[in-house]
Amino acid sequence: MNTSYWERETFLENYDLLVVGAGIAGLSTAIELKKRRPDFRVAVLERSWLSDGASSKNAGFACFGSLSEFVDDLKDMSFDEVVSLAVRRFQGIEKLVKDYSEERLLLEWNGGHELFFQEDEASFKECCAIVDRFNNAFESALNIRPYTVSAVQEFQGIKNLIGVISNKYEGGLNTGAMLNAMRERSVSQGVQVFSGVEVVNYSTSKNEVKVETSVGIWKAKRIAFCTSSFHSNLFEDLQMNAKRNQVIVTKPISDLKLNGTFHHQQGFNYFRNINGRILMGGMRHLFPATESTCVQGNTEEVVSALTNFLQHKIHATSAIEIDLAWSGILGVGKDERPVVKEVQEHVFVGARLGGIGVAIGSLIGEELAGLIDSSFSK
Ligand SMILES: Cc1cc2nc3c(=O)[nH]c(=O)nc-3n(C[C@H](O)[C@H](O)[C@H](O)COP(=O)(O)OP(=O)(O)OC[C@H]3O[C@@H](n4cnc5c(N)ncnc54)[C@H](O)[C@@H]3O)c2cc1C
């Protein structure tokens, strides 16, 4: 490593906090610590040019959960835990909007809709049986009754349905605009964001963390890993697993009627109208062997499954053409709850945000920054 004295003194050492990962969680953590401690030296180290996990790849749903997703969550969590996580997602969206504004996020509140086809009949019945219980719980916690059931066969041009469960409090934002706003906020608050720096390992001593990276050794008083599941090797007991999510976007469709955000099958499939095109992601539950990976990429099987679903179930009135396909990597655990934790002295983790990080990410950053802040007062 050809490191100069100036580089070492000015850029590699003397940080109060190094955050690893420039996704929603990492940038939010850095911003929130700077809010609390404006004099601190804080930097974010990102291995990629922008962000190479999920934060610049996602669908931009500002949602706090579909009913079949909640029913699925009840396998691993109690009813109160499921409601409490949904409430945190709701509050996370509120915080995001407060911090960056609807205009800046290009956020539109067009409602969310969960679709049930004939093959989803069992799930529809389960959701209908529990909808009042969830509405009552949200009424107590947030003073809203979000979910409305409609036993319709057609909705916004989508045919062969048995029902739709809508949530009028759901919105869709522009993911690029959101990440851009977070990056700009970081820089304006004096956070340094370095791209192309891959963190390989770390070691701690009484007053310092030494961070081994692709460009040399960095030093800080604290380190926060906001690397989704990418550092699962360093934190094996946190059980962070990688799941790939593939996404397609069509070319513009002239007769497109869709308005809002759409969910299907426990949120595994999702789509929305973006500027007259359909963005759709999902199908990973049908391909668990290939999609349990932290390697980005698309497969013909998943892209075909997504395309067929769109062409045959959602938009059969004219031919669709795919403009772009990409993937993102989720960090998931044994249930949907993220990890926000001091894992050892000076070392923090904010990770495993699964498929809910747009909603909950800025709140996770606030919680993690709170933990880091109080560690300086111990
Ligand atoms: C296709 C897709 C659609 C989604 N849709 C939605 C949605 O509609 N609504 C919603 O709420 N959530 C959605 N999500 C989930 C949401 O995007 C994630 O929960 C959130 O982006 C996670 O943010 P993060 O900062 O924890 O992780 P990431 O965004 O993955 O950031 C981690 C960063 O760490 C970096 N990194 C990894 N290893 C290293 C290393 N060794 N050194 C340095 N840097 C490293 C990575 O490059 C990456 O930039 C979706 C996710 C995907 C993949």
Outline which parts of the chain fall under CATH 3.50.50.60: 5-56+176-239+335-375
- pLDDT score, position 150: 98
Instruction: Return the pLDDT at 1.
Output: 80
State the distance from the centre of ligand 1 to the C-alpha of 149, rounded, in angstroms. Answer: 32
The reply to whether ligand 1 has any atom less than 6 angstroms from the CB of 19 is no
Is residue 113 within 8 A of residue 66, CB to CB? The reply is: no
Quickly count: other Cβ atoms within 10 Å of residue 233's Cβ. Answer: 8
Question: Which residues, listed in sequence order, are joined to residue 20 by a DSSP beta bridge?
Answer: 45, 225
**Is 232 close to ligand 1, i.e. is its CB under 6 Å away?**
no
0.85 exceeded by the pTM?
yes
Closest residue (by CA) to atom 53 of ligand 1?
A: 328
Spatial CB neighbours of 345, under 8 Å, sequence gap ≥ 6: 204
Give distance in angstroms: CA of 2 to centre of ligand 1: 32
Closest CA to 164 of 175, 154, 177: 154
Nearest CA to ligand 1 atom 30: 53
Is residue 247 lining ligand 1, measured as CB closer than 6 Å?
yes
The pLDDT of residue 378: 81
Centroid of chain to Cα 6: 37
User: What tens-digit pLDDT sequence spans the chain (378 residues)?
Assistant: 899 999 999 999 999 999 999 999 999 999 999 999 999 999 999 999 999 999 999 999 999 999 999 999 999 999 999 999 999 999 999 999 999 999 999 999 999 999 999 999 999 999 999 999 999 999 999 999 999 999 999 999 999 999 999 999 999 999 999 999 999 999 999 999 999 999 999 999 989 999 999 999 999 999 999 999 999 999 999 999 999 999 999 999 999 989 999 999 999 999 999 999 999 999 999 999 999 999 999 999 999 999 999 999 999 999 999 999 999 999 999 899 999 999 999 999 999 999 999 999 999 999 999 999 999 998
Distance 332 CA to ligand 1 centre (A): 11
Beta strands in 27-124, from DSSP E residues, in sequence order: 42-46, 61-62, 112-117
Q: Burial level of 85, CB count in 10 A (0-12/13-18/19+)?
A: buried
- What CATH superfamily is the domain 5-56+176-239+335-375? FAD/NAD(P)-binding domain (3.50.50.60)
Q: How far apart are CA 361 and CA 358, in angstroms?
A: 6
Q: Alpha helices of 209-270 — where are they, by DSSP H?
A: none
How far apart are the two ends of the chain, measured CA to CA in Å?
Answer: 36
**Which run of H or of E encompasses 299?**
none
- From the CA of 51, give the closest atom in ligand 1: 49
Name the segment(s) of the chain with CATH classification 3.30.9.10: 241-332
Strands (E), 59-170: 61-62, 112-117, 147-150, 161-167
- For domain 241-332, which CATH number applies: 3.40.50.720, 3.90.1570.10, 3.30.9.10, 3.40.50.10860? 3.30.9.10
Region for 352 from its dihedrals, namely left if φ exceeds 0, alpha if ψ lies in -120 to 50, beta otherwise:
left
Whose alpha carbon is nearest atom 37 of ligand 1? 227
Is the CB of residue 283 less than 8 Å from the CB of residue 302?
yes
Cβ of 226 less than 6 Å from ligand 1: yes
